[in-house]
Amino acid sequence: MNIRPYQESDAESVSALWDEVFPNNPSHSSPKLVISQKLAVQPELFFVAEISSVIVGTIMAGYDGHRGWLL
C-alpha cells in the first residue's frame, strides 16, 4: 500500500470510492463539495491510499467538516 498526497487527478477516483462507501450521503457531504472545501483548508493534509495505483482509501486531517471517517 502506498499513501501519498491527494492530487487533482484523484478527484474522480476519490468521488467514486466515497459514493460506494457512503451511498446515501446528504448533499452537504457530496464528494465534489467536500474535496473543494478540504483543498481550501490545509490541502497538504489530504492523502490517498492506493494499491497497484488504485485508490482504496483516503485520509483528511485538520478539517472539521468530517470526523472519524476511515475509508
Radius of gyration for the alpha carbons in the chain, expressed in angstroms and rounded: 11
66: Cα separation from own chain's centroid: 11
Instruction: Report the pLDDT value the prediction gives residue 2, as an integer from 0 to 100.
Output: 97
Mean local confidence (pLDDT), 9-19: 96
State pTM to two decimals.
Answer: 0.83
Cα 55 from Cα 31, distance rounded (Å):
14
* Digit-coded pLDDT (tens) for 27-63: 878 899 989 989 998 899 999 999 999 999 998 887 6
